Amino acid sequence: MDGDALRGYVELARPLNAFVAGVLTFVGAFVAGGALTRPSLAGAAVVATWLATAAGNAINDYFDRDIDRINEPGRPIPRGAVSVRGALVYSVLLFGGAVVFALLLPPLAIAIAVINLTALVAYTRVFKGLPGAGNAVVAYLGGSTFLFGAAAVGDLRAGAVLFVLAALSTFSREIIKDVEDVAGDRAEGLRTLPIVVGERRAHLVAGAVLIIAVAASPLPFVWGIFGLPYLVVVIPADLVMLAACTLGYGNPTRGQRLLKYGMFLAAVAFVVGRIAVVIG
């Protein structure tokens, strides 16, 4: 295998994206209280996430190869670094590795892994071109990394709330990103939510979903899972996300970027909440 082919396979996996997904899985296990007490399960969940994310990226490039020849000619398949068959075999091997590590986990985590692997394969072929459906699948997959980590170590409550917050806020951000990309998506013949229902209505949907996420954010404090330190961090995160959605009406680019920072701060709130519990 020459150097360009090796680089091509690495690029297909999107290692940075896979690494981030693994970190989110670890955060899910940590906020559920099991990352340090059950490290083998948490580690297996992280590795399964890495491999599944890499596999999903590779299979997405496999299905998008014709579009990428026009829009992304520098990607591994269009530039000839990786063959079409090679990309398919690579993705299958990565999926197989993810399954091996997922089978080391409790039944609920295995069920989540099966759903996620199915969604990763189906996304490009089934959901990507459906208004709102593609956004929902991306939102679910993003949020489910936290849920998967929590399920791997056995305590779902905190992880489930983080999953809901992450999924809802990601859904809002994906819609705002689609508003940002309306001109290009329309030229490509895509049917995103802003194109089908209009930019204003799409923004209203994004705002309504985000309000639900913000309203749910105090639940770990109300339920007694986390104490005041969690609330102190999550309230500013909520304010940043609401401000981002408002900003998105006039400037989708800045709005979706600010929303990303708010989502990160919300994840930090869960970590702070768990640390406070541990040291308290």
Query: What digits encode the pLDDT tens for the residues 139-193?
Result: 999 899 999 999 999 778 778 888 988 999 999 988 988 888 777 677 767 788 8
pLDDT beyond 80 at 203 = yes
* 22-49 residue pLDDT tens: 999 999 999 888 888 899 999 999 999 9
* pTM as predicted: 0.84
DSSP string over the chain: --HHHHHHHHHHH-HHHHHHHHHHHHHHHHHTT-TTTSHHHHHHHHHHHHHHHHHHHHHHHHHTHHHHHHH-TTSTTTTTSS-HHHHHHHHHHHHHHHHHHHTTS-HHHHHHHHHHHHHHHHIIIIITTSTTHHHHHHHHHHHHHHHHHHHHHT--HHHHHHHHHHHHHHHHHHHHHHHHTHHHHHHHT---HHHHH-HHHHHHHHHHHHHHHHHHTTHHHHTTSS-HHHHHHHHHHHHHHHHHHHHHTT-HHHHHHHHHHHHHHHHHHHHHHHHHHHH-
* pLDDT at res. 5: 85
Domains of the chain in sequence order: 1-135+144-154 (1.10.357.140), 156-280 (1.20.120)
* pLDDT at res. 1: 61
* 60-78 residue pLDDT tens: 889 878 777 876 788 899 9
1 or 269, which is more confident? 269
